[in-house]
Amino acid sequence: MVVRRRPQRGHRFTESPLLQLALQGWRSRMVGLLLMAAFLTLVARGFYLQVINNDFLQEKGDSRYRRDIEVSASRGKITDRNGDMLAVSTPMKSIWAIPGDARAMEVPQKRQLAAMLEMSVRELDGKIAADKTFVFVKRQVPPETAELITQAKFPGIHQEKEYRRFYPTGDMTAHIVGFTGVDDKGLEGVELAFQKSLLGHPGNRTVIRDRRGNIIEDVGSIKPPQDGKEIRLALDSKIQYLAYSQLKLAVSEHKAKAGGIVVLDAKTGEILALANLPTYNPNNRQHLSGAQLRNRAVTDTFEPGSTLKPFTAAMALDKGKFRYDSVINCAPGRMTIGSATISDAHPHGALTVAQVIQKSSNVGATKLALSFPPKEMWEMFDAVGFGQLPQLGFPGEVNGRLRPWKSWRPIEQATMSYGHGISVSLIQLARAYSVFARDGDLVPLSLVKTDEPVVHGVPVFSAQTARELRAMLEMAAGPEGTAPKARVPGYRVGGKTGTAHKLEAGNYANKYVSSFVGIAPISDPRLIVAVMIDEPSAGRHYGGDVAGPVFSQVMGASLRTLGIPPDAPIQVAEVGASRGKL
């Protein structure tokens, strides 16, 4: 028989001696102290991180939600001398995506977005398939399209403000203004030459974004953007249009490969017009070729031919060895130097120095040149800027070719006297003629508008020599000269033709560069116009026939545009000849 003991009444189960654990006094106190120390350590650490040194946690938090967004600065405008717009930035949008979120779009949404952005669904899929946290979907989207995308609320698709460059004058000013890339940086022309001034400085603003990249709070502006500086060019849009349109007509009429034209203000050295063909539309640069992009007036060189004869004559007069009316025997129209023979296009007998320029005699120019040592001739060419950079700051400008005088042979000095064996750019040639328009001094050229005329340039020839050369150039553009088609009704003009064979593989080919450079009005020169037509192939190739008429039309219309008063009577025959033209 089993006897069960009943627990005593009033004794609790939890007070059972078996459940009691007796600790020694010092051990309990130690545990308490350790727990207190751990608690104080956590409190101190929390106080240190959140109050004393909270930069670390703040940085970690900001890195996840706070962003500094760049605020684009508007690129500076480019205008002509009268304030007419040549280049301006218009606000656009860039569409970007968080690929991980954008892949959640359904097929109909992808089709809708692709249609809005004028791209294929396959192309869109290729962009959002990237293993990145950020990717551009399309740059420079019109604001109205961007607004439609915003309203559609495509997952993972976002947008930012940017700018696109617009060129109101298109292909007419393409080679002087240039263009920018998709990142708004200058790539050609004035856009590249004045990149630092035009670019401006972007600003910043701070925003809070959620994990999907959506801006939920604009904290404030750190730095406002500084827009780029406006550049006012020396270019005159009206004269530029005249020059471009007449060059285009001439290249088409003579079935030429290319052409270039420059108009300078003789008083200031400003470039009032510069045009080339072929050209391009900077607003739509798809399928461009290198030939279209080349600014031939600045980057290409050619043998100038007889347009250099006035410089040979000026040297002869300025050195005092010859006078305006000194007679030179040019018979029988040719001369032999070593194994080479120099010939005139039309044989002449005795000619004065003035007639050598009027009739464009190679023999006469050669005899003038060979009466001087090569060093003096080289120094004269160097003084007018040949073989040197024009120092416009223009992209791609070239020196041309002027070999050291010590290596010249007599035949080389002879051919350089009438523009062979030396190469120049059209802008160099136009600038060099300023010594005749400005009483013998050479002025620097300017792409930007200047406020005051250049009073004194670098002296090259005496004022008397320059005046006598102007008279010779007027004779060359007269009825008995080589360029009667360069005359301008109501104005006295002077200039010189150039017709040079082209060099190909070291040999002269049966191809020509036709040119004309002239000044007007002769009584008080204001403008210099230089024209070059490359490879005319419609039957005529002489500079007086091909380039002379372009000079006449551009010079006449430009003088009238500037309000320059006529300095010659207008003949009835001249009025009839100019009817129907600019």
Angle formed at CA 18 by CA 16 and CA 21, multiple of 5 degrees? 100
pLDDT score of 58: 62
Mean pLDDT lowest for which of 119-123, 185-189, 425-429, 503-507?
Answer: 503-507
262 and 276 fall within a common domain = yes
> Looking at residues 173-192, what average pLDDT do you find?
91
Q: Which helix (H) or strand (E) holds 379?
A: helix 374-383
Closest CA to 378 of 433, 323, 315: 315
pLDDT score of 32: 77
Q: What percentage of the chain reaches a pLDDT higher than 90?
A: 59
pLDDT score of 576: 39
CATH number for the domain that contains residue 84: 3.90.1310.10
Mean pLDDT lowest for which of 50-54, 72-76, 401-405, 409-413?
Answer: 50-54
What are the C-alpha distances in Å from 167 to residues 50, 260, 292? 56, 21, 17
pLDDT score of 179: 93
pLDDT score of 254: 97
201 and 309 fall within a common domain = no
Two tokens, residue 201: 């400085």
> Looking at residues 49-63, what average pLDDT do you find?
63
Instruction: Give 582 or 570, the one with higher predicted confidence.
Output: 570
Reported as a single tens digit per residue, the pLDDT across 110-142 is: 899 989 998 898 888 888 887 777 788 888 888
Closest CA to 336 of 363, 312, 361: 363
- Annotated catalytic residues are 306
Q: H/E/C letters for each residue in 301-314? A: CECCHHHHHHHHHH
Q: Is residue 390 part of a domain?
A: yes
227 and 361 fall within a common domain = no
Q: Is residue 62 part of a domain?
A: no
Whether pLDDT at 497 is above 90: yes
223 and 129 fall within a common domain = yes
At 68, which amino acid appears? D
Q: Is residue 406 part of a domain?
A: yes
516 and 567 fall within a common domain = yes
Reported as a single tens digit per residue, the pLDDT across 63-73 is: 555 556 666 67
Reported as a single tens digit per residue, the pLDDT across 351-408 is: 999 999 999 999 999 999 999 999 999 999 999 999 999 988 888 899 999 999 999 9
Two tokens, residue 114: 């692709």
Two tokens, residue 334: 């040719």
Which of 216, 232, 248 is at the close of a domain? 232
Q: Which helix (H) or strand (E) holds 85?
A: strand 85-97
pLDDT band at 578 (very low <50, low <70, confident <90, very high): very low
> Are the C-beta atoms of 387 and 423 separated by less than 8 Å?
no
125 and 256 fall within a common domain = no
Q: Is residue 31 part of a domain?
A: no
Those residues with Cβ within 8 angstroms of residue 499's Cβ, 6 or more apart along the chain or in another chain: 305, 306, 512, 513, 514, 515, 541, 542, 543
pLDDT score of 106: 86
Q: Which helix (H) or strand (E) holds 220?
A: strand 215-223
pLDDT score of 45: 75
113 and 249 fall within a common domain = no
Q: What phi, psi does 513 have (nearest 5°)?
A: -115, 120
85 and 155 fall within a common domain = yes
The structural domain count of the chain equals 2
Mean pLDDT lowest for which of 129-133, 141-145, 305-309?
Answer: 129-133
Q: Is residue 269 part of a domain?
A: yes
pLDDT score of 40: 83
pLDDT score of 60: 57
> Looking at residues 467-475, what average pLDDT do you find?
97
225 and 246 fall within a common domain = no
pLDDT band at 504 (very low <50, low <70, confident <90, very high): confident
In angstroms, the CA 312 to CA 315 distance is 5
In angstroms, the CA 398 to CA 280 distance is 22
User: Model's pTM, two decimal places?
Assistant: 0.81
Instruction: Give 446 or 580, the one with higher predicted confidence.
Output: 446
pLDDT score of 133: 74
> Looking at residues 327-351, what average pLDDT do you find?
93
Reported as a single tens digit per residue, the pLDDT across 248-288 is: 999 999 999 999 999 999 999 999 999 999 999 999 888 88
Reported as a single tens digit per residue, the pLDDT across 84-117 is: 999 998 888 888 888 888 888 888 888 999 899 9
pLDDT score of 26: 67
245 and 358 fall within a common domain = yes
Residues in the chain: 582
For 105, the domain range is 68-232
CA–centroid distance for 408 within its chain: 36
Whether pLDDT at 580 is above 50: no
Those residues with Cβ within 8 angstroms of residue 39's Cβ, 6 or more apart along the chain or in another chain: none
Residue whose token pair is 């550049």:
231
pLDDT band at 77 (very low <50, low <70, confident <90, very high): very high
pLDDT band at 226 (very low <50, low <70, confident <90, very high): confident
151 and 190 fall within a common domain = yes
